[in-house]
Structure 1
Amino acid sequence: MPYDPLPDLAGMSLAEIAAAVEARKLPPVEQWAPSDTADSHMRIAADGTWFHEGRPIARPAMVRAFASLLTRDQDGQHWLVTPECKQSIAVEDAAFVAIEMSAQGDALAFRLNTDELVLAGPEHPLRAAGDPDVPALYLAVRRGCEARLNRSTYLQLIEHALAAGGDLSVVSQGARFALEPA
């Protein structure tokens, strides 16, 4: 089945973004409880590149398929989950990278490196980490996994916060998020 990429985030209305988010069908990983575990021999680099046995996965469709099976447990371990097996996957920083941001009405929308859209808010909070000299911002995606905002997306978000005035924080879907590490 061919994949139709979404248009540029800036060219989409909030209603179109919300519809795209709602239309995304993901496997019911939460319902699966496989008894077998293994090592996937996969790694996600800090820049979002996926590797298998040391070689980059060059097909974006494969990365999107694997990403739909991704979860992170309470100990911080990432897993690829199928009905039959749970396979560990090494993640250097975050499982996803937020590569674009758009402020639409009362919401902040982000596009991930997997071409997925996420609306920041109570269910998908932003988290500031690092320190004042080297800050890092993360967006909760799903199943414990996060996306780190890349440099340009981070700067877009900071510019949005500064344009709103006041402190370095933003509001999305009624939730306020500090952009400075505590």
Structure 2
Amino acid sequence: MPMPPPLDLSSLSLGDIARLAEENRLPPVDRWNPDHCGDSGMRISRDGTWFHEGAPIGRQEMVRLFSTILRREPDGSHVLVTPVEKLDIAVEDAAFVAVEMKAEGAGEAMRIAFRLNTGDLVSAGPDNALRFEAGEDGPRPYLHVRGGLEALVARSVYYELAQLALDNGSQPPGIWSNGAFFAIEPAA
């Protein structure tokens, strides 16, 4: 069955996005604890490209499928897990990339949703926090996705967040989403 095209966030309300995100049922990878079976031969590059044995995975449907069985272990490593096997996967930075965002409201009433490179939708808030790290090329924003998995916020999307923070006028500069405030300055 072909994968549907990515949703156009501009045509959806944040209520629609929240409903779609809730409907996106994922496998219960947090409850699966099979024996470790080895290495998958896969990696996720910093830009979100998935590779198998050195070659990019060209079928977005396969990337989407693998992303649903991805889990972050307590030691920070990443694995692909099913009820019967667990395989290591190398992740250069974050498992996902937030490639698009939509904001509604203003100030403390603002809500922000993101579309990931896998097509997943995530609304920032208390359960899906934004955090900022200092990087050589400036602040590096991350969005918690699920179970310790994060999305690196694409630079163009970060600029949108920075503009929202400037428009907000808060000190320290930051943004609100779903009742949570996220300072845009990297944590010390």
| TM-score of the superposed pair, with normalisation by structure 1 | 0.95
Instruction: Report matched runs for 1:102-113 at 5 Å.
Output: 102-105=102-105, 106-113=110-117
Counterpart AA for 2:8 = D
Q: Counterparts of 1:54 and 1:100 in 2: how far apart (Å)?
A: 27
- Judged with a 3 Å threshold, the aligned counterparts in structure 2 of structure 1 residues 175 and 69 are, in CA distance, closer, same or farther, namely same
- Structure 1 runs not aligned, ≥5 long: none
* Corresponding residue number in structure 1 for 2:157: 153
Unpaired segments ≥5 residues, structure 2: none
Establish whether residue 181 from structure 1 lines up as the match of residue 186 from structure 2: yes
Residue of structure 2 in register with 1:129 after alignment: 133
Distance in 1, matches of 2:36 and 2:137, equals 43
Q: 2:7–2:119: 8 Å Cα contact kept in structure 1?
A: no
Aligned runs of 1:1-182 on 2, under 5 Å? Answer: 1-105=1-105, 106-131=110-135, 134-167=138-171, 168-182=173-187
For 2:47 and 2:78, the matched residues in 1 are separated by 16
Of 131-140 and 53-62, more deviation after overlay is shown by 131-140
Show CA shifts across 1:37-93 (max 9, x none). 310010100000000000000000000000001111121101101011111100101
- How far residue 132 of structure 1 moved from its aligned partner, in angstroms, is 8.2
**% identical aligned pairs:** 53
8 Å CA contact 2:132, 2:186 repeated in 1: yes
Q: What residue identity is the alignment partner of 1:174?
A: G
| RMSD of equivalent CA atoms | 1.4
Whether the 8 Å contact between 1:127 and 1:177 is mirrored in structure 2 is yes
For residue 96 of structure 2, what is the amino acid of its counterpart? F
Q: Tell me how many residue pairs correspond in the alignment.
A: 182
Letter in 1 for 2:65: A
TM-score normalized with structure 2 length: 0.92
Checking the alignment, whether the CA contact within 8 Å between 2:2 and 2:61 is kept in structure 1 is no
Contact 1:44 1:51 in 2 (8 A): yes
Deviation digits for residues 15-49 of structure 1 (CA, Å, limit 9, x no counterpart) = 11111101101111112110233100101000000
